[in-house]
Structure 1
Amino acid sequence: MLFDIIHEEKHKGEQGVKEKKRMWTILVAVWMVVIFLFSAQPSDESSKESLFVGRMVGQIFVKDFEEWPEEEQEAFAEAINYPVRKTAHATEYAILGIFVFMRCRCQDTWSRKRMIATAWGISTVYAATDEFHQIFVPGRAGMVTDVMIDSSGALAGILLAALAGFIIIGRNRRTEYGS
């Protein structure tokens, strides 16, 4: 009877790991498709979205932005267009990095270093293929600097996820042992 309970718990644990692997694999794949679709947009569509975000930034952070003349609002949005685009690159890859890292965490025999290195490697290779893909999109270009920005964003997301996991595990251990 005890053997059956232990076996059932172990099996339930294995099933839980399989479900987590499946969930994180799906999230990685879906997010890669999202990135691909953003990259497949011709430059004029992509620029419109970035300028829209630039206007939103102005409305949120600049006092009386809505009172400015239309040309000044447009000039502001254009002036911050480059940082908005690069921040979007870094952010979408930070999310990818988190998802890939969480998938790597399902490999319970891997060291934390191996998880981080693998997640960063996968994210960086995807960034490089994404930039290659952009060569074939009207008005877009594959940029090595964008691969570096994407890779840095991925690493930031990975390290954030690793740090969060480290803090949560530490907190759980303190709670478990009554410290």
Structure 2
Amino acid sequence: MKKIIPIIGVVLVLLWMILIFIFSSKSGDDVGGITSSIANNLINVFAHDKFASLDLNKQKEIITNLKIFIAKSAHFCEYAILCLFCFIMLIRLTKYNLRYIISLLICTAYAISDECHQMISIGRTPKVLDVFIDISGALIMLLTIKLILIIYNNIRIGKPND
């Protein structure tokens, strides 16, 4: 089982990278349509009556801001998940602290390449901010993994959590 975990990690990393590549290949109109659909569904579920009572300009402003938030959240989550899969891939292949560093380096390199890929995708614009959001997602995932492992190790050895 210990030998199969890194193999599963490699498969997950490759599949997730392909998924990110596919998302980046979508045109700006496709991405805008997806974020609009999600934004409208969120508004319908959580604030339909209040939203409907607002004037049209305020509604457009809210939808625009919500679409930006959704797009940036997607970047953050994509790379948090990629980082988790990288960590799983490296769990048996590297020394303890190197797992964190290599996972972050893989995510950073892929985030940069993803933005470069968007330069050739129709209606897409590469943004340095998106790379920082991607790296932030990876960092938060690494901190979460570290925290979970600390708690797990404290419980396993019977130390009380302070």
- Which TM-score bucket, shorter chain as reference? 0.7 to 0.9
Structure 2 match to 1:125: 109
Instruction: State the 1:115 CA deviation.
Output: 1.3
TM-superposed CA distance for 1:59, in Å, is 2.5
1:147 corresponding residue in structure 2? 131
Could you tell me which of 24, 35, 59 is aligned with 2:20?
A: 35
Structure 1: gaps spanning 5 or more residues: 1-15
In structure 2, C-alpha distance between the alignment counterparts of 1:130 and 1:162, rounded to whole Å: 26
Question: Are the equivalent residues in 2 in contact too, given 1:24–1:100 (CA < 8 A)?
Answer: yes
How much has 1:69 moved relative to structure 2?
A: 7.8
Match for 1:85 among 46, 51, 71?
A: 71
Q: Which residue of 2 aligns with 1:115?
A: 99
Amino acid of the structure 2 residue aligned with 1:128: I
1:161-176 aligned at under 5 Å gives the runs 161-174=145-158
Q: Distance in 2 between matches of 1:89 and 1:52?
A: 17
- Number of aligned residue pairs: 158
Asked if the contact 1:39–1:130 (Cα under 8 Å) also holds between the matched residues in 2, the reply is yes
For residue 62 of structure 2, the aligned residue among 73, 76, 90 is 76
Preserved CA contact (<8 Å) 1:27 1:99 = yes
Q: CA deviation at 1:150?
A: 0.6
Query: Partners of 2:24 and 2:130 in 1: how far apart?
Result: 12
Partner of 1:102: 88
Deviations 1:25-84 (A, max 9, x none): 111111111111100000000001011111122233326257558956555322321111
Which one has more relative contact order, counting CA pairs under 8 Å at least 6 apart?
Answer: 2
Structure 1 contact 116–159 (Cα < 8 Å) conserved = no
AA matched with 2:11: I
Q: Give the root-mean-square deviation of aligned CA atoms.
A: 2.2
Bigger radius of gyration among the two: 1
d(CA) in 2 for partners of 1:99 and 1:162?
A: 14
CA distance in 1 between counterparts of 2:123 and 2:32 reads: 10
Amino acid in structure 2 at the alignment position of 1:168? Y
Quote the Cα distance in structure 1 between the aligned partners of 2:117 and 2:25. 8
Q: CA deviation at 1:149?
A: 0.8
Shift of 1:137: 0.3
